[in-house]
Chains A and B, each alone.
Chain A
Amino acid sequence: MSLADWEPVIGLEVHAQLRTKSKAFCGCPVVFGAPPNTAVCPVCLGYPGTLPVLNREMVALALRVMTAMDCTIHERSIFARKNYFYPDLPKGYQISQYDRPLATGGGLEVSAQGRTRRVTLNRIHLEEDAGKSMHEFPWDDVPGGVSLVDLNRAGTPLVEIVTEPDIGSAEEAFDYLGKLRRLVRWVDASDGNMEEGSLRCDANVSVRRKGETRLGTKIEVKNLNSIAHVKKAIEHEFERQVEELEAGRPLRQETRLFDPGAGVTKPMRSKEEAMDYRYFQEPDLGDVVVPPDLLDEVRASMPELPAPRARRLESALGLPAADAETICSARPFADYYESAVAHHAENPKAIANWLLSDLLGRMTDADRLAGRVPLPAAHLAGLVRRIDDGTISGKIAKELLPELIASGKSPDALIDEKGMKQVSDEGPIRDAIAAIVNANPKQVETYRSGKTATFGWFVGQVMKATSGKANPAVVNRLLKEALEG
Chain B
Amino acid sequence: MTPAEIEALLDGPATALAAAVNAGAVPASELVERALERAARERERLGAFLALTPETARRQARDVARRVAAGEVLPLAGVPLAVKDNINVAGEPSTAGSRILAGFVSPDDATCVARLVAAGCVVVGKANCDEFGMGSSNENSAYGPVRNPWDLSRVPGGSSGGSAAAVASSAAALAIGTDTGGSVRQPAALCGLVGWKPTYGRVSRYGLIAYASSLDQAGALARSVRDAAVAFSVMAGGDERDSTSLSSRVPDVLTGLEVGCEGKRIGVLVEAGAEAGGLHEDVKASFEAAARLFSAKGATVVPISVPRVPLAIPVYYLVATAEASANLARFDGVRYGARVDAPELSSLYRKTRSQGFGAEVKRRILLGTFALSSGYMDAWYGRSMKVRALLSRDFAAAFREVDAILCPTSPEPAFRLGEKTGDPLSMYLADVFTVPASLAGLPAISVPAGFSKEGLPIGMQLIGPHDEEPLLFSLARVLEAGTHASERRPPAP
Contacts and interface: CB of A to CB of B under 8 A. Distances in A.
Contacts of A92: 326, 328-330, 332
Contact of A83 (B94, B213, B243, B329): B329
B141 to A, nearest CB: 16
Contact of A46 (B107, B206, B330, B377): B330
B242 interface: yes
Interface stretch (A177-185, A210-218, A280-288, A298-306): A280-288
B110 A49 contact: yes
Contact of B243 (A45, A49, A53, A279): A53
A285 B325 CA distance: 17
A87 B332 contact: yes
Contacts of B325: 83, 278
B335 interface: yes
A51 B241 contact: yes
Interface residues of A, number: 29
Nearest to A54: B243
A336 B490 CA distance: 83
A403 B311 CA distance: 84
Nearest to B87: A49
A285 B243 contact: yes
B487 interface: no
Interface in A229-284: 276, 278-280, 283-284
A269 to B, nearest CB: 14
The CB with the most chain A CB atoms within 10 A, among B94, B240, B374, is that of: B374
A51 B369 contact: no
Contacts of B107: 42, 47
Nearest to B208: A49
A93 interface: yes
A284 B209 CA distance: 12
Interface in B320-341: 322-323, 325-326, 328-332, 334-336
Contacts of A147: 345
B300 interface: no
Contact of B330 (A48, A51, A54): A48
B332 A93 contact: no
Contacts of A285: 243-244
Interface string A113-136: 000000000000000000000000
Contacts of B96: 48
Given A48-B88, A92-B329, A278-B373, A286 B243 contact: yes
Interface string B40-69: 000000000000000000000000000000
A258 B206 CA distance: 43
Contacts of A286: 243-244
A50 B349 CA distance: 22
A137 interface: no
A49 B349 contact: no
B106 interface: yes
B214 interface: yes
Contacts, number: 95
The CB with the most chain A CB atoms within 10 A, among B206, B210, B330, B373, is that of: B330
Contact of B108 (A42, A53, A91, A278): A42
A48 B93 CA distance: 12
Nearest to B212: A283
Contacts of B415: none
A278 B335 contact: no
A150 to B, nearest CB: 12
A276 B377 CA distance: 11
A231 B104 CA distance: 48
A54 B110 CA distance: 19
B165 interface: no
A285 B243 CA distance: 6
B98 to A, nearest CB: 10
Contacts of B322: 280
B357 interface: no
A368 interface: no
B74 interface: no
A147 B96 CA distance: 29
Interface in A379-393: none
A260 B374 CA distance: 34
B256 to A, nearest CB: 31
A92 B372 CA distance: 15
Contact of B349 (A51, A85, A279): A85
A90 interface: yes
A149 interface: yes
Contacts of B332: 85, 87, 92
A90 B240 contact: no
Interface string A74-101: 0000000101010100111100000000
B326 A48 contact: no
Interface string B416-457: 000000000000000000000000000000000000000000
A85 B329 contact: yes
B75 interface: no
A16 B328 CA distance: 29
A52 interface: yes
A276 B374 contact: yes
B334 A49 contact: no
A91 B242 contact: no
B99 interface: no
Given A87-B345, A276-B373, A280-B381, A51 B205 contact: yes
A91 B244 contact: no
A201 to B, nearest CB: 26
Contacts of B414: none
Contacts of A278: 325-326, 369, 372-374, 377
A33 B458 CA distance: 61
B209 A48 contact: yes
A283 B244 contact: yes
B162 interface: no
A289 to B, nearest CB: 12
A156 B58 CA distance: 41
Nearest to B334: A87
A51 B242 contact: yes
B330 A90 contact: yes
Nearest to A48: B209
Contact of A51 (B243, B326, B328): B243
A334 to B, nearest CB: 40
B485 interface: no
Contacts of B110: 49
B88 A49 contact: yes
B158 interface: no
Contacts of B241: 51, 53
Interface string A33-57: 0000000001001111111111000
Interface in B209-240: 209-210, 212-214, 240
Nearest to B104: A48
B207 interface: yes
A160 to B, nearest CB: 20
Nearest to B374: A276
Contact of B94 (A45, A48, A81): A48
A90 B335 contact: yes
A283 B214 contact: yes
Given A47-B107, A47-B336, A49-B206, A81 B326 contact: yes
Contacts of B243: 51-54, 284-286
B372 A83 contact: yes
Interface string A136-157: 0000000000010100000000
13 contacts: A42-B107, A45-B335, A46-B335, A47-B336, A48-B106, A50-B206, A83-B329, A91-B329, A92-B328, A93-B329, A149-B334, A278-B369, A284-B210
Interface of A: 42, 45-54, 81, 83, 85, 87, 90-93, 147, 149, 276, 278-280, 283-286
Closest 7 CB pairs of A and B: A92-B329, A278-B372, A283-B213, A283-B214, A48-B209, A49-B207, A46-B330
Given A54-B243, A149-B334, A280-B377, 19 more contacts: A42-B107, A42-B108, A47-B106, A47-B336, A48-B94, A49-B87, A49-B88, A53-B241, A83-B329, A92-B326, A92-B328, A93-B326, A93-B329, A276-B374, A280-B323, A280-B326, A283-B244, A284-B210, A285-B244
